[in-house]
Structure 1
Amino acid sequence: MKPKDEDKPQVAMAQAIRTITENWAGHIEFHRTMARVARVKFLALVAEGFTEEQALQLVRW
């Protein structure tokens, strides 16, 4: 059965939630990796002479 036009947003949302749930482990690993990258960049900036405040400003997204 084809969804009614008014049901399409709810169907799309349910599909998006299902996709996120199925890929949850990948999302977590992605954010862990991005956190490591930010930390390495921060530490490298401090090692190169930036203050911690300057380094923090440069790694903000």
Structure 2
Amino acid sequence: MSIKPSDQDSRAVKLAQALRGWAEQLLSPAHREQQRLIAQERRIRYLAHIEAGFTEAQALELCKS
């Protein structure tokens, strides 16, 4: 089964639009703020594990999951 050129073109356009939207989202101030908050949450979890008596290596491993 072969794909018609018009189908390929349509898929290429949709993919290009999706990639452009994704790139715009990644560059947005809201996305940067969201990532900053996620990083803060990871740091809080890591420190909580250490305060609970885990080693730094154990805390890091626990934060991976």
Instruction: Settle same-fold status: TM greater than 0.5.
Output: yes
Match runs of 1:3-18 below 5 Å? 4-18=6-20
Superposed structure 1 runs of 4+ greater than 3 Å apart: none
* Percent identical residues: 40
2:51 pairs with 1:47: yes
| Deviation, structure 1 residue 13 | 1.8
Q: Point out which structure has higher relative CO (alpha carbons under 8 A, 6+ apart).
A: 1
Aligned residues: 59
Q: CA–CA distance in 2 between the matches of 1:34 and 1:14?
A: 28
Aligned-pair CA distance for 1:10? 1.5
Q: Which of the pair has more CA radius of gyration? A: 2
RMSD: 1.9
2: CA distance, partners of 1:45 / 1:58 = 8
TM-score by length of 2: 0.72
Amino acid at match of 2:13: V
TM-score (norm: length of structure 1): 0.76
